[in-house]
Amino acid sequence: MSVSPTEAAAFSGRRSLWSGLLQSLTRVTSGGRFVPCVDGVRCIAIMAVLLYHLNGYIVARATGFSEAEARQTFVFHLLHGASCGVQLFFAISGFILALPFAREQLTAGQPVRLKHYFWRRVTRLEPPFLINLALIYLLLVLVKHRSATELLPSLLATMTYTHNWIYGQLSAINAVAWSLEIEVQFYIIAPFLARWYFRSPPARRRLLMAGMVCLLIGLKIMWPVTPAQKLRLGLAYTLDHFLVGIMVADLFVFHWKERPAGQRLWDLVALVVLPSVFLIQLDPRTYHLLPVLSGLLLVSAFRGPLTNRVLTTPLIVVTGGMCYSIYLYHFLVISMVGRFTISGTVGYGYLPQLVIQSIIIVPVVVAVCAVFFAAIEKPFMKWRPVRVSA
């Protein structure tokens, strides 16, 4: 079938518009090295977190069914296991933060200046986080009519990443900040941990790290803790996830020379691992194997030809690159949109409401968070108010 010049031009224009939109939403990397499939895994993680909170919101706010009825479905438990997205982020952080130190030690790369390392954290991630907290604080006071004075201690603790330690519970300002506090704890120790790790011979360090991960998993299996205790333990409870990420960074730089060869076997591994990441959380005996599966998923993203191709699709990469903004704002958007859409599904059962609300709310969340990303987060990816000397 032939296409007229006018139709071809229109199609080209739409394609250019779409490409321009994706380009405007592409994150900026300071080091100039971009690993697209990692953002693909980030997309999996943030979509899991989004669906986890959307499922919880629907069960808590929707009418027409009870929570007990929802819990009788397999889908509820599957989405309840989507909280694994946070732990997947921990493994990704271990990988990303270890990369420059791996390059420094293993390939005689440019030395990592700790002043630059920490200053980048302050200028890149702190401003969007503080803006988010200030916005939600004002909304709680002005719209929800919460007491500004009563909320102030929680705000200050959240701003200083001490809320978990002080209160042992989720922040009253932004509940998802609990994981960011753990991320900051790891960010502080990562340079010292990575340099210690990469100075050892490959076989020795990998065996040692694998032993540490197994030890931490074993301790958590033998001595289970309550959710409140998990928050208080912070990094000590989640360190195994970060360590797995460091091991993958080791393979990526030292073993694969940053050019991992594709092997179809890893597509099969990804096909098994991806659903398993959610399913293992249905049983407390398998829940703690998540760090191992996260590591396998990361390796599959690099080594599986089809997996890599899917995860490097522009839309998936761009969505994963916006994960920080989506993470900060997604629950706020769910709450704001859900209060209008929930009334339209009154009388429906759990599964129909879940499907309808997901179709409506998920695209809105991504679109609104994309605006926050472009307006707030992306400018700070390049902003450096003061040049730090070596």
* Angstrom distance (rounded) from CA 183 to CA 234: 9
One-letter amino acid for residue 85 of the chain = G
Helix (H, G, I), strand (E, B) or coil at 80: helix
Q: Is 198 within 8 Å of 205 (Cβ atoms)?
A: yes
pLDDT in the model for residue 120? 85
Measuring CA to CA, which residue among 184, 122, 186, 139 is closest to residue 158? 184
> What distance in Å separates the CA atoms of residue 65 and residue 76, rounded to the nearest whole number?
13
C-alpha span between 78 and 43 (Å, rounded): 18
R_g of the chain, CA atoms, integer Å:
22
pLDDT at 1: 42
Can you read off the two tokens belonging to residue 58?
Answer: 């629907």
- Rounded CA gap, 24 and 37, in Å? 19
So what's the pLDDT on residue 49? 96
Q: What is the CB neighbour count within 10 angstroms for residue 305?
A: 13
Rounded Cα gap, residues 244 and 240, in angstroms: 6
3-state helix, strand, coil in the chain (%, to 5): 80, 0, 20
Q: CA-to-CA distance for 357 and 374, rounded, in angstroms? A: 26
Q: Tell the residue number behind the tokens 């706020």, with chain if given.
A: 332
φ, ψ for residue 50, nearest 5 deg = -60, -45
pTM of the predicted model as reported, rounded to 2 decimal places? 0.91
pLDDT of residue 13: 52
* Residue 289 DSSP code: G
Q: What is the mean pLDDT of each run of 10 residues along the chain (390 residues)?
A: 45 62 76 82 97 94 88 91 92 95 78 87 91 97 94 96 90 94 95 93 94 94 77 85 97 93 95 93 85 97 97 94 96 94 86 94 96 92 62
What integer pLDDT is reported at residue 4 of this predicted model? 47
CB atoms within 10 A of CB 389: 7
Please state, in angstroms and as integers, the Cα–Cα distance from residue 265 to each residue in 181, 272, 298, following that order.
37, 11, 14
